[in-house]
Chain A
Amino acid sequence: MSKPKRVAIVAAGINKWGMRPDATFRDIIAEAGKVCFDNNPKVSNKDIEGLVTSGVYPQRSGPQCHPSPVACEVLGVQPRLFQNTDCQCQSGAVNMRIIWSAIVSGLIDIGMAVGWERILVPNQGERYINAALACDHDWEQGFGMTPPALFALPALSHMEKYGTTEEQYSKIAVKNHTHSAKNPNAHFQKGLTLEKAMGARTVATPYKLFDCCVNTDGAAAVILCSEEKAYEYTDNPVWIMGWGQGYTNWTIGNNPKDLTDWQGVRMSGELAYKMAGITSKDIEIAELHDCFTASELIEYEELGFCPKGEGGRWVDDGGNDYGGDVVTQPRGGLIGCGHPFGATSIAQAHEIYLQLRGEASERQVEPRPNIGLGQTMSGVGTQSMVTIFGSDDTQH
């Protein structure tokens, strides 16, 4: 592959995530969009040439189809490229990649990726439908399985194959809640003790309450810009160094036979590292897809942060936290922040943008990191997207 043009993030914003019965999806997009434009006063809404929304459930959070022009009207953007995109939990990353592609191809110079979800409806049956829709309609939904049960299957397999313990899973939840306590935009800000995590009610064995992320209402936005224009908007851009997307299969019956073998995640990491010209050893901070604690642990292994099967030991050694090899989930991950599907990858990008610029306040990783990784996943390890971000120092 020839070297594509460089693209940078020049502004990023996020709103307060949580239960938002007081706000419509237009309100939520307005909040995050406003924060994003306020983040860099040199960028005007009138400058934006492309706007892509990522919302997985617009038909269930309005209901509204075709939400991208709604966002354009809300934010006062007159684009010549606009669309909505849905790739379930990877939606925000594929959104940013659409804007990136449009810039690389020369269609536009500057574009905005806006992700959101408004999903916390008060009716339990409807919430069940939202969860079930992520599974195959004909061959999974009707059987009553939802993501906690599906993602519990590899959690048990990892315990049986590698001796990983429920306590090691809980330690990941404690880390992520500890980080999100320092993040004013996170759904959860009270921290968590290991005792409370281990004593919580069971959701789907071996998962207890805090092993699971929650769906939440929220939005996030980033503005991407061509290398020709980036320094007109900021003297400290954060660069997209690489993307990788992996796919092995859709229905869970067709997953690799070893349920702990998350080839889709591994493939996404390998492709992204190759495009960025780096290895896993270069990653200093990572925002991973911790829909459940075992997901994060298996991702450590597949992305090369620790050897296969040693995720539990790496957790015990603190390799995954401040002071360790890779600071994982500095914003608190999905477990600490909540998971508004269409916004999550963009919120990861927002956090890494702050961290690589040294603007993450209480959560700032020291010394200031130069290379960060974002990863989101749909399917149980079978579909994954990795983005590598580099500080401006990496480009000179």
Chain B
Amino acid sequence: MAEQMEYFTAMDLVAQQYEDTTKLYYFYEALREENKLVTTKCKACGHIPWPPRTLCPECLSTDYEWVDMPSTGTIASWTAAYAGMPPELMSRAPMVYALVDFDNGLRMPTAILECAPDEAKTGMEVELIVGDVQPDQQGRRRVAPYFKPVGR
């Protein structure tokens, strides 16, 4: 047996985030380096989807550009999770998870950080906060778009 088991990419639950591993690498680069949430916009028909796409599901065009998402949104529904989380997050339980609505009509699931369960409310305004997650198999930094109560 090898002294240390190799990193099993087939069990990696985090998205690949760099140019050599995903066509959508700019989404993560914008989060990592510009602290900015973005998505794709179809240059042919103007459709703006969530999550970002390389292929427009409306007109099947592959011609897209990146556009900024709003940096704040409101909670559509939420839960405080005490179990069912990855082992490395169990020490942070309870974690507040939510669906966040943006004024461009899109909605995304995310974690609400710096928020106690008794503070969370439907309709609450939240703002983007970039969180670090497990590095990739080459040891490179990976991030996720989380949110926190506005002004926190």
* Chain A residues with a Cβ under 8 A of chain B: 124-125, 128-129, 131-132, 136-150, 152-157, 160, 201-207, 251-255, 257, 259
| CB contact between B85 and one of A129, A138, A146, A251 (< 8 Å): that residue | A146
Residues of B within 8 A of A132 (CB): 13, 86
Least CB distance, B44 to chain A, in whole angstroms: 20
CB closest chain-A residue, reference B97: A149
Query: Mask for B68-87, Cβ within 8 A of A = 1, else 0?
Result: 00000000111111111111
CB-contacts of B109-152 with A (<8 A): 109-111, 117, 122, 133, 142, 144, 146
Q: How far is the CA of A217 from the CA of B149 in the complex (A)?
A: 41
Q: A138-B22, A141-B14, A204-B79 are in contact. List 20 more A-B contacts (CB 8 A).
A: A125-B87, A129-B13, A132-B13, A137-B15, A139-B108, A142-B133, A143-B110, A148-B81, A153-B79, A153-B98, A156-B77, A157-B76, A201-B82, A202-B80, A204-B81, A205-B117, A252-B109, A253-B51, A253-B99, A254-B50
User: B84 touching A142 by the CB < 8 A rule?
Assistant: no
A306 CA to B88 CA, complexed, in Å: 43
Interface centre among A131, A138, A156, A160 (most CB of B within 10 A): A138
Q: Given that A138-B15, A204-B83 are known contacts, is A156 also in contact with B109, CB under 8 Å in the complex?
A: no
Which of A128, A142, A150, A203 contacts B87 (CB under 8 A)? A128
Using CB atoms, name the residue of chain B closest to A252.
B109
Q: List 28 A-B contacts (CB under 8 A).
A: A124-B87, A128-B86, A138-B15, A138-B51, A142-B13, A142-B14, A142-B133, A143-B97, A143-B146, A144-B95, A149-B79, A153-B76, A153-B78, A156-B77, A156-B122, A157-B76, A157-B122, A203-B83, A203-B84, A205-B79, A205-B80, A206-B79, A251-B51, A251-B109, A253-B50, A253-B109, A255-B107, A257-B76
B40 to A: closest C-beta gap in Å = 13
Q: Are A259 and B76 in contact (CB under 8 A)?
A: yes
B residues whose Cβ falls under 8 Å from a Cβ of A: 11, 13-15, 22, 50-51, 76-87, 89, 94-95, 97-99, 106-111, 117, 122, 133, 142, 144, 146
A interface: dominant SS: helix
B97 touches A145 (CB 8 A): yes
Which residues on the A side are within 8 Å of B109 (C-beta)? 139-140, 143, 145, 150, 251-253
B122 neighbours in A (Cβ, 8 Å): 156-157, 160
**Residue in contact with B99 in the complex, picked from A138, A153, A207, CB distance below 8 Å:** A153
In the bound complex, CA of A157 to CA of B80 (Å): 14
Query: Are A156 and B79 closer than 8 Å at their CB atoms?
Result: yes
Residue of B with least CB distance to A153 = B77
Residues of chain A with a CB closer than 8 A to B95's CB: 144
